[in-house]
């Protein structure tokens, strides 16, 4: 929760004067909660696409697709950074390698 609040405060510090952010905690499925949060056709819903492997695609529905199909406003789907895939690969490789002896 601290990470979420920290990110919210960091984003709020970068806003232009006159823009008021609104924080909200909701218990629901992600797609439904996001679509319920936007009511006005003038809103913009920004959703990260994330990277989904075949197993995740089979087990969980896509939040982005749900939002694009049901939101009353435009939806901007932001793909992950290409560098993120490189970092994930590096992390997976190092997780399987035993620590090297630093003698």
**For the segment 14-62, what is each residue's pLDDT rounded down to a tens digit?**
777 887 777 778 889 999 999 998 988 999 999 988 766 777 777 777 8
Give the model's pLDDT for residue 58. Answer: 73
- Angle, vertex CA 92, rays to CA 94 and CA 66, nearest 5: 155
Domain that holds residue 53: 30-96
The answer to whether residue 17 sits within a structural domain is: no
C-alpha torsion sign, points 19, 68, 70, 65: negative
The answer to whether residue 22 sits within a structural domain is: no
The answer to whether residue 48 sits within a structural domain is: yes
How far is residue 88's CA from residue 90's CA, in Å, rounded to a whole number? 5
How many domains, the chain?
1
The answer to whether residue 68 sits within a structural domain is: yes
pLDDT tens string 68-101? 999 999 999 988 878 877 887 887 777 666 656 5
CA distances from 14 to 19, 44, 76, 82, 91 (A): 10, 18, 20, 25, 31
The answer to whether residue 55 sits within a structural domain is: yes
């Amino acid at each position: 929760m601290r990470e979420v609040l920290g990110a919210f405060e960091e984003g709020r510090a970068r806003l232009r004067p006159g823009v008021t952010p609104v924080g909200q905690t909701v218990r629901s499925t992600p797609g439904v909660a996001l679509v319920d949060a936007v009511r006005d056709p003038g809103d913009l819903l920004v959703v990260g696409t994330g990277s989904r492997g075949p197993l995740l695609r089979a087990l969980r529905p896509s939040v982005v697709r749900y939002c694009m199909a049901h939101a009353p406003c435009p939806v901007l789907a932001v793909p992950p950074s290409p560098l993120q895939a490189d970092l994930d690969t590096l992390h997976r490789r190092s997780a399987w390698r035993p620590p090297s002896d630093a003698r």
